[in-house]
Chain A
Amino acid sequence: MTISPIDAELLRNAMSSIVDEMFISLMKSSYSTNIKERKDHSTALFDRNGRVVVQGESMPLHLASMLGLVEIVLEKYGEKNINPGDVFLSNDPYVGKGSHLPDVAMAAPIFFDNQLLLFVCNIAHHADIGGMSPGSMAGGMTEIYQEGLRIPPIRLFKSGKLMEDVMDMILLNVRVPEERRGDYNAQIASNKLGIKRCLDLIEKWGPKNIDEGCDVIIKSVAKRTRKSVSNLPDGTYTFEDIVDDDGLSRKNIVLNVSITVKKDQIKFDFSGTDPQVEGNNNVTMAGLQACCLYCIKVLLDPDCPQNHGMLDPISIIAPEGTIVNAAFPSASAARAQTGQRIVDVIFGALASACPENIIAAGNGANTSAAFFGKSKQGKYYVYLETLGGGAGGRSYKDGSDGIQIHMTNTSNLPIEALESEYPLMIERYEFVKDSGGAGKYRGGLGIRRDYRPIKHDTTFSGQGERFVNKPWGIFGGNYGGTGNFSIIQKNGKKVRISNKPSALKIGPNSVISVVTAGAGGYGNPKNRTKKQIKDDFRSEKFSKAFLLKNYPQSKKIKLEEN
């Protein structure tokens, strides 16, 4: 049979059902909260050539990390040396196409009648992968060796047999090894389930049709993505933006992109970008690729299924040794910070190419607050959360206030749960007034969240971005507000601290106040309607002074108190 558009849709539907089942299975049986609660994992099916055919809905940063492993396994071992029952493992950003060490990828081949036909693969963020600090995500490190155990593409199973020596070595290098063993087992089980379901599918469709079907599914996405790209006007689009710092030695790091669209091809060139940094916010190639794919997807075709075909029209040039294609042995645990800013430069560049879909810069950060301490009852605790901020103004409506944007979408922990479990109190959780950049459509507001330790001293560490360099507006829209970390002392005095503070002691008489960035506006503020300005005032999201300063027309509006 030749695969018709109906067959391809049926096969894709069946495969995505398998990938979903693998995803749920991995989520349910893992131990790490990252996987269980935050769904920081992905599952996919690959064809025998190492191309992703179907990938489930997943974290944007996994878009590309998934793409690499099978390819590299095929390259390293050769098809001839891959056998039924083999399981491959890898996490290294430099030799395994990973994006940071805690993301462990696992792939297994599927054979039918002794023929290699497909691969199943999953990737999961482990709660610990060894290294200098618990959780393997902390700042202050300058080399990947300090961040954790590096696993090149290796076999964890050989022809169905677990390589116990390998497993022993891995587990010896991570914290709470029994739980981590559970995570590895969950990944193994998820792949096994995928293999079982795929074998049923191959039985039903026949190996030839599966092979042909995979090709049709990939090609259809390639065609679709090329078509989307060709809707952009040809030309070269450039933009530059500045990352605050690396937390150690460097400040104001330049990100630069030059994007060339020619018919249905798009080239991202990051040649003007600054060198890699000593801190841990370096991005490796897989992370960069994920950012580019994310931009293509959200700007051109949000409903596009994710597979290898998306890469078809895309080429990326990034000199090795820059912060967007960091070379060995740089540290990359906090790659999401810079990832957010890569999206910003790409958006900045493509603004004029797709003005309808573009949004202004927002909270280009993955601002995190981590607390470590010993409660009055003598119990140690570690608590980490990440905060959203403003989303950029859009071509026809305002940006959202206080929300996760782009490469991250993690939820908050309910305050009532947090306060019941940790000796911390949240004193406020609210929007930051006046932090949304003015525009025809304004930017979203940042978030303020204040923490007070209860009856003990806590140790605070944080990672902030867009704390210095403001989120920009577009097409005449203004800048949004920046974020900051500060300490509110007993006498009410507020003292700003560094953007990436590490292990600060805070007592119960002080409060840590985290403010995240707002977002830039879209379009000239003078085109904002009177009704919108009145609403800005009435909702008390903006002050009278801000409105008068940013919107000339507001002088003619009667702004009334509630």
Chain B
Amino acid sequence: MYVGVDVGGTFTDIAINFGDGENVKFYKLPSSPKSPENAIVLGLTEIFKSYNILPEKIVRMSHGTTVGTNALIEKKSGKVALVTTKGFRDLLELGRQTRPTVYDMHKDHPTPIVDRALRFEINQRTLSDGKTKSKLKEEEIKKLAKKIKKLPIDCVVICYLHSYAFPSDEEKTAKILKTLLPEKVKVLTSSSVYPEFREYERFSTAVLNGALITILSSYLDRLSSKVSEMGIFSDVKICQSSGGLMSSSMAKKFPVRASLSGPAAGVQGAINRSVTAGFNNIITLDVGGTSADVALILDGKPMEVNERLLAGYPIRIPALDVNAVGAGGGSIAWVDKDGLLKVGPQSAGAEPGPACYGKGGKSATVTDANVFLGRLNNRALLEGRMPIKESLARQAIGSLAKQINLSKEETAIGIIKVACSTMVKAIRSISVERGYDPREFVLFVYGGAGALHAIEVAKELGIKQIVIPPSPGILCAEGAMNSFLTNEFVQTVFTKLDEEGISKIRSFREILKLKIQKWFSEEEIRKKSQEENWFIGARYFGQNYELNLPINFRQNDKELIIKLKSEFQKAHESNYGFASDSEPIQIVNILVKGIGKLDRPKLPLEKNGKKNKPENHRITFFEKDKSFKTPVYKRNQLVRGQTIRGPAIIEQMDSTAIIFSKDIGKIDNWGNLIISTKG
């Protein structure tokens, strides 16, 4: 049996796959933000009891957590001191010297993670070719250790220039500090966190990692002990921002890698489901309360980036390319200074929430528009647990309608259209703007509010097919169960793409090879489950960005050069619209992505059975002047192969799907609802 756990700000979701190809169970309960492990334990206990599950049967528990991200946002992360090259104390604060937004003088970058008074300079300088300009002196470090000892510090991070290639000074400094500082003070180097050139991004990643180390370690220790008390003996695997998993001991060393794991786990779940169902090119749309996250998957592989922002700080980590915009169920509709109707990015959140929740919210939200139009249940949501007051939705829509002098129906339809147009724009920016035609993709929607808006978004983009998984609200927990262990090792090497360069690359490959082998053995990954994918980062000389190219070391040098050159030209052409035969190519780094394959539980097949009739009917508006008495189905009563012709509404615990007239929905073998639109 496999367990997936996703802890969000509001809910903790648990998924259990029995591994028998038949049973997956889900459980949703309120999160316990102060000690997130409490909700997990409570949820697991409940679900074990309900289905008579023996804890020792659990072979794997995968967990996505935002503990680190929340600590940063709430400014409760650990206290970090920085040790850096003389002359560069302010580098962390100068960043790239740009302001975050061009036209807003009041918006600032977040204050640096390390206080200026805690940034210490050391008279040390290595040049780009590894030569020493100023020699590191042991005495100076010892003196500094005495000073740091007196300060309330959780972690010391050592960041020297050019350490990506020449880490010895950082390592030497770390060694001395470790022997002189108390054991509870962690010491780490920028080159051990992410040994890649570009000092600001490397330093920033390293200090964030340092700031999260204490908090994530203590959380994972608490969780592990509670979980093993329950009788679960498997290691807890932690989701990374790349969608892969890591062991909890890795997570304690590299907490920064877990920081954006939530959306990544969702994308992982989407890939697993859609590939099983036979779709390899998909665009994912995850609509929650405040935002919509979109990602593009080509041939079953998600697009990746290696730089993201975490609470406003840049971090270099392997991550999925997920684009988020401020449009969700709770997004507030308002009239801008110019009189145009806007939706979001402000959200009513969970408190007070949309007007129709009756908790004091006055502003009309996307949810209120959906309730008013009869698309969402006008009595209660969450299987009756959340009562809905339709009259309050009507009131909120009414007062907005008055402001723009339109009918209530027109206003409510407009709110949804404007919200959808924001989602469409987000999808265009990850598809059309990168050379992909959305019409060649299917739209995979999840999150509480995804299925309500799927058809309108798809039609705007010319997408013909929509996939809605059986439980759209807990896809992140499901996705966590279906990932592999992954790790990435990188080494910066500046060299020309020629025979000399290739031999350099081969020698660095040996170093990385040792690192990845060490990781395989630490994670107890058997030989046949090991996979290595090697890449080089290359660019034309003088450029500021690089492209990753796969590299096959079995080829001889000559073949390799020809192959890499042509691969690079091809990649450059497709990414930047041109390529040059004559310009020399520079290799800037070598990279290996390691995968430790885990056995993955199969998705259960949907039950066969008698087709059920709609539960009831309600009046629903599809256009401002087009309403139908629309059949409402219960999702858990639909069976494999069942076809539903629009107009129709399909309700389940935490999600509602709309099918427009002329569009057709069908339940596939795995319980996904596949909607085909008629343009």
A residues engaging B (CB < 8 A)? Answer: 4-6, 8-10, 12-14, 16-17, 20-21, 24-25, 28-29, 31, 33, 36-37, 57, 59-60, 182, 186, 189, 220-221, 223-224, 227-228, 294, 297-298, 301-302, 304-305, 357, 359, 387-388, 391, 394, 400-405, 409-417, 419-421, 425-431, 447, 450, 454, 538-541, 562
Contact = CB atoms under 8 A, between A and B. Distances in A.
B116 A24 contact: no
Given A221-B338, A415-B199, A4 B98 contact: no
Nearest to A29: B577
A298 B406 contact: no
Contact of B340 (A12, A186, A403, A540): A12
Nearest to B573: A29
Contact of A402 (B89, B90, B104, B417): B90
A447 B94 contact: yes
B577 A429 contact: no
Interface stretch (B268-276, B420-428, B522-530): B420-428
A420 B433 contact: no
B670 interface: no
B576 interface: yes
25 contacts: A4-B404, A6-B406, A6-B411, A10-B417, A14-B421, A21-B432, A33-B544, A223-B339, A224-B336, A224-B337, A297-B103, A301-B337, A302-B105, A411-B98, A412-B94, A414-B199, A415-B88, A416-B164, A416-B199, A425-B127, A428-B86, A431-B90, A538-B117, A540-B116, A541-B116
Contact of B117 (A403, A420, A540): A540
Contacts of A12: 340
Interface string B402-418: 00101000110010011
A430 B339 contact: no
A5 B402 CA distance: 12
Q: Which of B86, B337, B541 has the most CB of A within 10 A?
A: B337
3 tightest A-B CB contacts, nearest first: A29-B577, A428-B87, A6-B414
Given A186-B577, A429-B90, A429-B94, A298 B421 contact: no
A502 B163 CA distance: 35
A10 B421 CA distance: 7
B619 interface: no
A357 to B, nearest CB: 8
A443 to B, nearest CB: 13
A9 B87 contact: no
Contacts of A403: 97-99
A416 B161 contact: yes
A33 B109 CA distance: 26
Contacts of A186: 577
B422 A13 contact: yes
A447 B97 contact: yes
Given A17-B428, A402-B93, A57 B576 contact: no
B298 interface: no
Contacts of A220: 338-340
B578 A394 contact: no
A29 B576 contact: yes
A33 B575 CA distance: 16
A404 B99 contact: yes
Contact of B429 (A20, A37, A294, A412): A20
A182 B414 CA distance: 43
Interface string B568-588: 000000011110000000000
B635 interface: no
Given A5-B339, A298-B105, A540-B117, A427 B98 contact: no
Nearest to B421: A13
Contacts of A4: 404, 406, 410, 414
A425 B88 CA distance: 13
A415 B161 CA distance: 8
Contacts of A37: 544
A412 B102 contact: no
B503 interface: no
A561 B335 CA distance: 53
Contacts of A431: 90, 93-94
Given A10-B418, A298-B105, 16 more contacts: A4-B404, A4-B406, A6-B340, A10-B417, A29-B578, A57-B102, A60-B102, A186-B577, A189-B577, A224-B339, A228-B337, A400-B108, A403-B99, A404-B99, A447-B94, A447-B97
A393 to B, nearest CB: 11
A408 to B, nearest CB: 9
Given A25-B577, A298-B103, A419-B127, A430 B98 contact: no
A304 B337 CA distance: 9
Q: Which of B338, B340, B422 has the most CB of A within 10 A?
A: B338
A37 B544 CA distance: 7
Instruction: Identify whether the interface residues of B are mostly helix, strand, loop, or mixed.
Output: loop
Contact of A6 (B90, B97, B410, B576): B410
B535 interface: no
Contacts of A427: 87
B91 interface: yes
A428 B97 contact: no
A431 B119 CA distance: 13
Contacts of A31: 578
Nearest to A57: B102
Interface in B56-101: 86-91, 93-94, 96-99, 101
Contacts of B115: 539
Nearest to B337: A224
B197 interface: yes
Contacts of A416: 128, 161-162, 164, 197-199
Given A4-B414, A5-B340, A404 B97 contact: yes
A430 B85 CA distance: 12
A61 to B, nearest CB: 11
B278 interface: no
A387 B97 contact: yes
Interface in B555-600: 575-578
Contacts of A415: 88, 161, 199
Nearest to B343: A9
B578 A388 contact: no
Nearest to A406: B105
B428 A401 contact: no
A370 to B, nearest CB: 16
B542 interface: yes
A388 B94 CA distance: 10
B427 to A, nearest CB: 10
Contacts of A410: 98
A541 B199 CA distance: 22
A202 B201 CA distance: 44
B494 interface: yes
Contacts of A182: 578
A441 B423 CA distance: 40
Interface in B333-389: 335-342
Contacts of A5: 335, 339-341, 404, 406, 414
B200 interface: yes
Contacts of B161: 415-416
Contacts of A447: 94, 97
B87 A21 contact: no
Nearest to A347: B105
Contacts of A228: 337
A539 B575 CA distance: 44
Q: Which of B199, B335, B414, B544 has the most CB of A within 10 A?
A: B544
Contacts of A224: 336-339
Contacts of B541: 421
A430 B432 contact: no
B106 interface: yes
Contacts of A429: 87-88, 90-91, 94
Contacts of B116: 539-541
Interface in B422-459: 422, 424-425, 428-429, 432-433
B88 A430 contact: yes
Given A403-B99, A404-B99, A420 B197 contact: yes
A12 B128 CA distance: 49
